[in-house]
Structure formats: structure tokens, C-alpha cells
Structure 1
Amino acid sequence: MQRGGRLRAEPPAPGIRELVETISSQQRVIVVLADRRHGRVFTWSEGTRMIEHLRVEAPDEPRRPEAAAGLAMISPHRDESERRHFVNIGRRVTRIHRATPAGYILFGGPEEDLAVLRLELSSSTRKVRLGTIDVPANAKKGEVARAVAEFMQAEQHDFQRQVVDDLIAAREDGTAVMGLRPTTDAVSAGRAMLLVVDAGYGKRSQVEALFRRALETGCRIQVIRGDPALHLAGSIGAHLRLPR
């Protein structure tokens, strides 16, 4: 591109390695904050801003003359009104999830108020991981974003730890290989089912060629960041397909 008489180089397009590493680290999250009066729904993913899709506030119940006189009167419609409030929030979450599926749904608010929401979502989000963040329904957006980021950081650490432990255990029983040469041979021959590699491992051209071959053969790829056990075991490995 030319500007002011000078040629400005375009930034290089991301290579397959960068794309795979980005996909491996991204998890789309739906965040639901609710209590009996408030309802808010966000989506979040690493590296992007948090987007608020819904913000509702249920109206206060009108005070009756008996209540003003000191008698505790509860409207017979109050329970149904509150239930509709939570059901409407749940339906909005379901629509968002169906449009772009999420890996997690995180809830915030009083636990007793979230029970109806969880029930409403139980049939449409069976494969989604559920979690809880300790923020009130009327929390500021920045507070919500920090809580979600902390939750996902801990979740990612636990997930990566399990992936590495499973790989090392599978190597012991002969259903996985570790190290560059055995892993490359397995991927090249189409025998690899899941390729696990430490972020930043190896030469760029070598790793990109391996990623391409993995994708061509239907092998899934998981990039791990900063796990010492994987580093000690060779930084790369693959689960093998079971023989037919």
C-alpha cells in the first residue's frame, strides 16, 4: 500500500500455526446474570470484548393497601411473574447458543433464583459446560469480564493438565506416541487421532507442515501452553487411532 509517497508493507497473513493456536485457546462463553428483578446476558471469548445481548429489569410489584397498613400480602401473580422473568431470560440464552454454540455457560446471581433458569436451559444445553461466577446480577461490565477471565484461566489450566496426563498415560499403554519423530510418522501415515503440541515448539515450517497433514487426515490438534510435564516428555505427541 502506498501512502505519502512511501510504500507500506501489509502485515503478513497469519500462518496455519497461528490459526491453530488461536482456535485451540478460544472458548466462547455465554454469561447469564439474574435475580428476581434483573436479567443480563453476555457473550465472551478470549481476545474479544464482552458483548451484552440482553438487559432487563422486572417491574416492582405494586403495593396494596393492606401491605401499606402493615399486613404482609403477596400478590398471587408474583410467583408466576417471576417464573416468566426467568423463562424469558432462558429462552434468549437458548437462541444465542443455537445461533453460535458456546462451550460454557456461566451463571451469576443468587443460587435460589438461578434454579428456574438452569431447569429452563437443561434440555437445550446438554453438551455445554456450566459454571458459576461470584458476581451479582447488577455488577459492572468490567467486573463481570474479570470474573469470567479468571474462571476460564483456571478452567483452561485444568483442561490442559488433563490432556497432558491422558497423553502420557496413553503412551504407557501403547495407544499414543511422544517425541518429534514418532509423532511425525504417525501423523504422516494418518494414524494420529489427536495431535498435542506445546505452543512455540519446533521450527515454524516444520510444525506448519505437521499441522497441515493432521488437518488433511482428520486429526484434531490441541496446543498446550506452558505445561512442564509435556515439556519434559518431548513437547509433542499424538493419540493413535484404534486399528479397525
Structure 2
Amino acid sequence: MSEMSVREETGAWTGKEALRYLLPALCHLSAEEEPRKVLLTLDTPALLVDFLSQCWTSLKGKGGVSSARDPSMETACSALLNFTVTEPERVRKDPCFRTLEALLSEALPVLVHKPRLLVLAANYCTLGLMIGRLKSAPTGSVEAGQRRFFSSALRFLRGALDSGSSPGPVRVSLGWAESWEEAAELWRLSLQALGGCVRAQPWIGSLVREEGWLKHTLAMLSQCSALPEQHTQGALEEALCAMADQCPVCKVEIGDAMRNDKGALISLRKLKKSVGVK
């Protein structure tokens, strides 16, 4: 399968890459244990990464032209996400996932500024964070690409919810509203993965503060009366608990905010326990 072309074909395949027709099936099969094992023997993750790389090169080549959404890229991300969730050792050892990380660190900072591609950005963000939670803390300085990816991911995730100027439930921001139905689960998965990244790589806790994600999130939760629904609350609480557990300065800031006894923040019971607030 690794020899299968992902480039544009001639004749019957004019204008389409052959792999695009197979992506929905590959995504489905990658979620099932036995078929997934077969796909791994065929180096399917490397094929999918190559597909995304070529699509990204094409997207970059369009320059300032507003690009149309390409569902096949999102489907490829979903298949790779299945491998990432179910085959952590393969992700740690297979060089194609290092190639994928480099691609994500290059692409996400660009995609966050393309509203029409918000769902693709959410896929890239989730995929990169799910990979990040499987990595150990660097022994030396943090790679520039890694810092760039996580900085972009934090800014991207921060933009999803808005507490508004008046008291009331938090709402989905205008920039995310149109795509929220498709992007909401990816946003929640990203937050859960972010918590895993903070636990695996404590340096990310400092970055969370530097990028303003923690300050923004605490302010939003203090100002709003409630979150949209339980799953969103759970994802936010999981990320905040990880930060409180791994970053002493974060723990102090979260505790100070909770002691003000305001808004939806006071309903996060696990977080209260993590920071020692009664």
C-alpha cells in the first residue's frame, strides 16, 4: 500500500487522487482492532502522512487565495487519530509520526488564521496534542517546532468560548459558532489531550501561562454563570487539574481565582480538591 499513488492520476482518475476514494474506508477500518493490525503491516500511517503533506503543499501553493474546505484531509486526520489513540507504541517508534509532528507545527500556525478551515485546524490541533501526550519531557531545550505548535494550539483553543460582557452562561464565540457542531468534540478532545501533555511534559504548564490561556480561562469561568454542557465542563476541568498538579504557579493562580467564589469556576469540584480550596 505504501507504493499507492496519492498524486493526481490521468484517465479515469482525472482531477482526483486515488487515495481520496479509500479514505472513508481506511478511517472506519483503523477504528477496528483486527483490520487496524493489517493496516499497520501495510504502513498505512506513513501513506496518510504523505497524503496530508502533499495536500498541505498544495494548500500553501494557493497563497492568499481563500481555500475551500477539503473533507479528505479531515478524514485522513481522523484515521491517524485512531492510530494515535489505539497504538501508542507505534506512534512513539514510527518515524512517520515525527514527520507528522513537523507538518502540524508548520501548518497549525497558518490554519488558525483561516476561518474557513477551522475544522481542519481543530483536527490538526487535536492530532498534535494527542501525539504530544505520548512524549517524554525533553532532556535539553524545547524544539522550536514543538513550542510553535503548542503556542498556536493554546491560542486556537482559547478562542472557542466567550463569556460576553454580561453575566450569563458562556457561549460559543462567533468565530467558532458556524463550525461548532463539527468542531466541539475535537475541542474537548484537545483539552483532555492538553492535560495529558502537561502531565507528560511539565514545561507546557509554563507555556499555558505565557500564552495567556490560563488567565483567559479563569477570567471566563469567573464571569459566566454556567458552561454550555457537562462534557465541556469536564474537559476544561481535566485540563485545569493537570495544570494545578504539575505547575506550582498555575496552582496558586487557580486557587486565588477559586477563592473569589465567582461564576462557574466554583462548580468545578475536582479542581477545588486539586488546589486545596474548600
Q: TM-score, normalised by structure 1?
A: 0.25
For the pair shown, the structure with the greater C-alpha radius of gyration is 1
Report the TM-score when normalising by structure 2: 0.23
Greater share of residues in helix: 2
Larger RCO (CA within 8 A; separation ≥ 6): 1
Higher strand share: 1
